Amino acid sequence: MRSFILFAITSSICFQWTLLGLAAEKPNIIFIMADDLGYAELGCYGQQVIQTPRLDQMAEQGMRFTQFYAGCPVCAPSRSVLMTGQHTGHTHVRGNALDDDTIIQSLRDEDVTVAEVLKSAGYHTGLVGKWGLGEVDQPGFPLRQGFDSFFGYLNQVHAHNYYPEFLYRDAERVKLRNEVQLSTDGRQPGFQGGHATKRVDYSHDLFTNEALDFVRENAASPFFLYLALTIPHANNEAARMVGNGAEVPTYGIYANQDWPDPDKGQAAMITRMDGDIGRLLDLLKELSIDENTLVFFTSDNGPHDESNHDLERFNPSGPLTGIKRSLTEGGVRVPMIARWPGKVKAGTVSEHVGYFADVLPTLIDLTDAETEVATDGISFLPTLSGSGEQKEHEYLYWEFYEQGSRQSVRFGDWVAIRQPMFSGPVSLFNLKRDIAEQNDLAKQNPELVAQGVAYMEQAHTHNKNWAPSGVPVKK
């Protein structure tokens, strides 16, 4: 497979449509993404402490992927991969902006997003939650990237605070009833975190209600809802200021546990999100559009350790090693559930190896969108439908610009990790025999190391905004 593919509409799409019986009606699409949710923080992925009955039920009613990957181990580049279908060696946004130069975290006018593709196919498109790919005055602003409506946070720093002073509705700030003590990190207004001293409006609850309203208002015609939730991301500023970054209105069923408050909050946030996703699924049935709606659920990267909660209590990475910012499996392998009654076979567990770059070509394939877009992804519609030939990746690629930088590539059952990128030593692991990546086999397999390095060299293209040291280059 070439590392950079021009995905074009071909006669095979008509074949897929016939397989799924979709020629008469395009399905609604809901893509739900949690924020910093670990691979094993759901019951259906092995979680033993936190209760997630509705997502577990969603997995029973659909397909659960065991080898699906985020675009990056942190949020903005991972979302850029999702929106553009290009991995971090090609996509424009390759990291989180580390200072006030926020333009480097904006998509460009020439970038083609999932929303633009679906809008061209006749979909009404809405974004609720966290964007992270462009401010109001930048080309990456959601309404300039194919979304008909937007409600939420424009960047990840503002999104730290679950009780913000304002959210955006399209390009306008909507004032909330919260009062916030802002951090003193020198960032520009709007790209700044803080801690609420008066808590009234919980952003996640507002997002849930907005999503439900969007579905009700658009139930009669094809819609695409990108529901980018912020749970269970930490409020990093609150963690530093008051020692607890797990902001949630109540601890719910965990209130009486003999745990520190950050642990109660972490569990309560995830269970709260689970229940709200259940409300959304119930609404689809109530509106009689359940069988014409494809719902995805995933996470933008691996679990965080930023709320001051106890990772050992919840074991959020399960059998995997690493968390957010790692290029070991725990940083990038994420839960992925697809539910579509009558179309995606219930109770299916798939070992198909895929990642965020595959979402765009899959939705092009699904909707018969008449477009051409450069992508590193491969449609996994054959896996979803259980019909047709599923193509496989030659390799998956990631690069990361913080903590001295690193890059990695998965090919077959092997993963090679180089740190720092371009010049550092390479570690090599066999995931089939060593999912925890404890046994570095690089010395015993120089030919496989060379193959991994060749893939890394093939996948990376220069981006003037990002330097291997992790510090953005300003030009």
Same domain for 54 and 11?
yes
Plot region of 347 (φ>0 → left; ψ -120 to 50 → alpha; else → beta):
left
Q: What is the pLDDT of residue 2?
A: 39
Q: What is the pLDDT of residue 191?
A: 81
Burial (Cβ within 10 Å: 0-12, 13-18, ≥19) of residue 443: exposed
Entry pTM: 0.95
C-alpha to C-alpha distance for 350 and 136, rounded to whole angstroms: 40
C-alpha to C-alpha distance for 216 and 197, rounded to whole angstroms: 34
Q: What is the pLDDT of residue 9?
A: 38
Q: How many structural domains is the chain composed of?
A: 2
- CATH, residue 102: 3.40.720.10
**Structural domain includes residue 75:** yes
**Structural domain includes residue 473:** no
Q: What is the pLDDT of residue 24?
A: 43
- CATH, residue 412: 3.30.1120.10
In the predicted model, is pLDDT for residue 18 greater than 90?
no
Same domain for 277 and 184?
yes
Query: What average pLDDT score do residues 202-229 get?
Result: 98
Query: What average pLDDT score do residues 32-53 get?
Result: 98
- Per residue in 76-113, pLDDT (tens digit) is 999 999 999 999 999 999 999 876 688 999 999 999 99
- Higher local confidence (pLDDT), 457 or 98: 457
pLDDT band at 187; cut points 50, 70, 90: low
Query: What average pLDDT score do residues 57-64 get?
Result: 98
**Structural domain includes residue 84:** yes
**Structural domain includes residue 411:** yes
Same domain for 318 and 379?
yes
**Structural domain includes residue 470:** no
Same domain for 331 and 442?
no
Range of lowest pLDDT (63-72, 267-276, 338-347, 368-377): 368-377
In the predicted model, is pLDDT for residue 475 greater than 90?
no
Q: What is the pLDDT of residue 188?
A: 67
Same domain for 232 and 97?
yes
C-alpha to C-alpha distance for 300 and 268, rounded to whole angstroms: 19
What share of the chain has pLDDT > 90, as a percent?
87
Give, in order, the Cα–Cα distances in Å from 322 to each of 70, 293, 329. 14, 34, 7
Range of lowest pLDDT (16-30, 302-316, 430-444): 16-30
- Per residue in 263-306, pLDDT (tens digit) is 999 999 999 999 999 999 999 999 999 999 999 999 999 999 99
- Per residue in 387-436, pLDDT (tens digit) is 999 999 999 999 999 999 999 999 999 999 999 999 999 999 999 999 99
Tell me which of 374, 393, 412 is where a domain ends: 393
In the predicted model, is pLDDT for residue 8 greater than 60?
no
- Higher local confidence (pLDDT), 122 or 9: 122
pLDDT band at 152; cut points 50, 70, 90: very high
Domain range holding 298? Answer: 5-393
Give, in order, the Cα–Cα distances in Å from 231 to each of 162, 265, 269, 270. 9, 11, 6, 7
Same domain for 95 and 139?
yes
Instruction: Tell me how far the alpha carbon of residue 219 is from its chain's centroid.
Output: 25
Same domain for 200 and 223?
yes
Q: What is the mean pLDDT of the chain?
A: 93
**Structural domain includes residue 416:** yes
Tell me which of 393, 416, 438 is where a domain ends: 393
C-alpha to C-alpha distance for 375 and 3, rounded to whole angstroms: 9
Same domain for 346 and 217?
yes
- For 410, phi then psi, to 5°, come to -105, 130
Burial (Cβ within 10 Å: 0-12, 13-18, ≥19) of residue 94: buried
- Give the β-pairing of 293-299 and 28-34: parallel
In the predicted model, is pLDDT for residue 472 greater than 60?
no
pLDDT band at 471; cut points 50, 70, 90: very low
pLDDT band at 17; cut points 50, 70, 90: very low
**Structural domain includes residue 225:** yes
Q: What is the DSSP letter of 139?
A: T
- Per residue in 220-268, pLDDT (tens digit) is 999 999 999 999 999 999 999 899 999 999 999 999 999 999 999 999 9
Same domain for 125 and 227?
yes
Same domain for 290 and 414?
no
Q: What is the pLDDT of residue 6?
A: 54
Tell me which of 353, 375, 393 is where a domain ends: 393
Q: What is the pLDDT of residue 326?
A: 98
Compute the chain's Rg from CA coordinates.
21
pLDDT band at 58; cut points 50, 70, 90: very high
Same domain for 214 and 333?
yes
**Structural domain includes residue 466:** no
